[in-house]
Amino acid sequence: MFVHLGAQVSISDKDIIAIMSTDALDKSKLTAEFLSLQRKLGKVIPVDENEAKSIVITPKSIYLSPVSVLTLHRRCEAGYTDLPSLIAIDADK
């Protein structure tokens, strides 16, 4: 299944390593350092211009999503699919 992260971005649920709140950046120096390093490596992808509510970690990228952790968790459990986003991504190839 795919998880819709916001805007036109959907990723495979099998690629998700972790989903955490952006509040974790304020509470954990290690998490903030990790995200800073990933930004320097060019692996951080903002999903859209809205303020990020969650951080989605995959093996290749870190996504900053405007969708809350709770909503992303529900989408993962429900097998949420977003066909229009998948079609838009495939159309660019």
Whether the predicted model's global pTM rises above the 0.85 cut: no
Domain count, the chain: 1
- Pairing relationship of beta strands 62-65 and 18-21 according to DSSP bridges: unpaired
Whole-Å CA distances, 87 to 7, 19, 81: 13, 24, 11
Q: What is the pLDDT along the chain (93 residues), one digit of tens a residue?
A: 889 999 989 999 999 999 999 998 888 899 889 999 999 999 999 999 999 999 999 999 999 999 999 999 988 888 755 555 444 444 444
HEC assignment per residue over the chain: CEEEEECCEEEEHHHCCEEEECCHHHHCHHHHHHHHHHHHCCCEEECCCCCCCEEEECCCCEEEECCCHHHHHHHHHHCCCCHHHHHHHHHCC
Which residue segment(s) compose the domain that 25 sits in?
2-91
